[in-house]
Structure 1
Amino acid sequence: MTEQSTEILYLPNARYTWGGDEFLFVEFDEAMNLTANYLATTVAHGLEQLDLPGVVDVCPANASLLVRFDPDVLGGEELRRRVQELEAQARTATQHTVETRIVEVPVWYQDPYTAEVVQRFREGYHQDPSGTDLDYAAKVNGLEDAAEFIRRHHESPWLVSMVGFVAGLPFMYQLVPRARQLEVPKYLSPRTDTPPLTVGHGGCFACIYSVRGAGGYQMFGVAAAPIYDPGQELPDFEDFLILFRPGDIVKFRPVDEAEYRAVQEQVEAGTWRYKQAPVTFDVEAALADPATYNRTLLEALDGAEN
C-alpha cells in the first residue's frame, strides 16, 4: 500500500452528533473521499442487517450517515454503541471491499434537449453566458475543448456515492486520482428547468437528473434510458423503482442520435435492459493504482451480456 493510500484509508474516528431525539448523525470526514464513503456505506449495510427494533431509516451519504430511530423503542446511547461497533469492524477488517456491480449508461452528449435549456439560462444564471456548459467545463479544467472534456468524462468509471435530492438521483464520484478529477462549479443561480435524465456536474460530482425539474448543475447530455421507474415496468426495476444504490459503479458510454432513439424504442417496448456485471470493489486497490484497477472494472463490464 502506498503512503498516500495509507493516509487516506485510516481516517480519524467518526464524529457522532444528535438531531433532536430521533436522529443520529455520523460524520466520517468533512470532505468526500473513497474511505469515508466506504465507511458510510459499510456501516449503513451493517446496521440494516442488524434489523434493530426502533431503527426507522438508514441514509448513507457521501461521507456521512444519518439514522432515524424511535427513542421509545431504542435508546440513543444503545444505538450509538451499536453503530460504533460497526464502524470499528469496518476499520479493522482484513479486506476493505464491497460486493457491488458496474452498470453501463448510454449518454447522448451535446444533445438538443439540454442545449435548448442551456441557451434559456445564460445571463444572470451562468458564469460564462457566451458559451455552452461543456465549453465552460473544458475551460475551467484546462482542457483543449468540449470534445476532450467529454472523453475524460466517459473514459473512466464513477462510484455512486449516494442517492437522493430527488427520487433516484445518483451522485457519482470519478475513480481517478484527485489531481485528474473533473471539477466544475454549479450555476451562479439555479435554473427552473432541467430535462429528465440530464447528465450534470457540480463540484466534483456527476449526477443524472431522474425527473424534470429545477437544478444548478452544468448540463452535458442526456442518458438514453430511465433510472427511476415508479411503475416498475422495465426488467431492471422489478425489485425496486430506483436503479442505483450507493456503492454501484457507473461507466458512461457515448451514443449518437440513432442509438439514442433505438434505446428509446426498447424502453417504450418494455424490453430495455442495462448492461451490467457484478464486481467486488476494493478500496485499497482503487487508491493504490487507480488506472490499473479501473481496467479490471471495465474488463468485467466488457465481458457482460447486455
Structure 2
Amino acid sequence: MVEFRRCGQDGLLAEFRELSEVDAARALLTAAAERGALPELAELLPGARTLLAVVQPGSRGLDTIRELLSEADLTDPPARDSRELTLAVRYDGPDLELVARTAGVSTSEVVALHADSLYTVAFCGFAPGFGYLSGLHPLLQQPRLESPRTSVPAGAVGVAGEFSAIYPGSSPGGWRLIGSCAAPLFDPRREPPALLSPGDRVRFEVVR
C-alpha cells in the first residue's frame, strides 16, 4: 500500500514498504512520461523507501501520479531498457578481512560474491555522484563501522546494510571498504556530471 504526502504546491512524496516498490514506481512513472501519459512530470527523486515526484507548476500531474501509483501492481514493474555499466574494481580495501570474518567466508569468496552480483542504482545521495547499489549478496550485508573514518579516499568501494557504493570523492564515511575503483563517478564538466543514475545496472570487473 502506498501512502502519499504533499510537498508544497507541485510535489508529492510516495512512501513504500520495500525498496523494490520504489524502483517499480520510479520505472512506472518514467515509462508514463516517456510515452506522453505524464507530460507534466519534471523530476523524480527516489530514496530507500520513498519517491518524490515534482510536476510543472500549475499542472494536474500530481493527480495522475497518485492515480497511477494507487492502481499499479508494484510487484510486477514494467519492462524497461536499463543502461548497464561495468566498472573495474581492485579488491584491496582495508576492511576486506573484516567483511570476510563477519560473513564467515574467505576474502576470495567476498570478492567473488561482490563481483558476481548484478546491481541496480536504487537512488543517489549523501554526496554528488554517490549511488546506492541494491543487489548486494546477503552475506555481505553488514553494519557500518562502529567509528566512521574521518577521510575515505575517492573511488573506495564499500558495503553497508543492504547496499554497496563507490565514494565519488574524498569524504568522511563509515562504510566497510573492500576495494577501489578508478572510474570518475562525478565530473562537473561532464553532462550529466554523475556517472550513475537511478535505474542503471552495474557490474564489477575484478582487477588483479
Equivalent residue in structure 2 for 1:134, among 73, 96, 111: 96
CA distance 1:251–1:142, shift in 2 (3 Å): same
Displacement, 1:215? 1.1
Partner of residue 218, structure 1: 176
User: Does the 8 A contact of 2:136 with 2:163 survive in 1?
Assistant: no
Q: Cα RMSD between the aligned structures?
A: 2.7
List per-residue Cα deviations over 1:119-148 (Å, max 9, x = no partner).
xxxxxxxxxxxxxx22221222232x2221
Give me the identity figure in percent: 27
Partner of residue 200, structure 1: 158
Rg larger in structure = 1
Partner of residue 83, structure 2: 101
Partner of residue 173, structure 1: 134
User: Does the 8 A contact of 1:181 with 1:204 survive in 2?
Assistant: no
CA distance 1:97–1:63, shift in 2 (3 Å): farther
Unaligned residue ranges in structure 2 (runs of 5+): none
Which secondary structure state, in structure 1, belongs to the residue aligned with residue 66 of structure 2? helix
Partner of residue 293, structure 1: none
Displacement, 1:96? 2.6
Equivalent residue in structure 2 for 1:61, among 37, 47, 51: 47
Paired AA for residue 113 in structure 2: R
Displacement, 1:155? 1.1
State the distance in 2 between where 1:57 and 1:28 align: 18
Displacement, 1:202? 0.7
Partner of residue 18, structure 1: 6
Q: TM-score if structure 1 supplies the norm length?
A: 0.59
CA distance 1:70–1:95, shift in 2 (3 Å): closer
State the distance in 2 between where 1:154 and 1:198 align: 15
State the distance in 2 between where 1:196 and 1:228 align: 10
Partner of residue 254, structure 1: 206
State the distance in 2 between where 1:198 and 1:92 align: 33
Structure 1 or 2: more helix by fraction: 1
Aligned residues: 206
Unaligned residue ranges in structure 1 (runs of 5+): 1-11, 116-132, 233-238, 257-306
Paired AA for residue 37 in structure 1: D
The yes-or-no answer on 1:157 pairing with 2:115 is no
Within 5 A, what are the aligned runs for 1:1-306?
12=1, 14-19=2-7, 23-29=11-17, 31-32=18-19, 34-44=20-30, 46=32, 50-52=38-40, 57-68=43-54, 73-74=58-59, 78-88=60-70, 90-91=72-73, 96-110=78-92, 114-115=93-94, 133-143=95-105, 145-174=106-135, 180=138, 182-232=140-190, 239-256=191-208
State the distance in 1 between where 2:76 and 2:147 align: 46
Paired AA for residue 242 in structure 1: A
Displacement, 1:102? 1.8
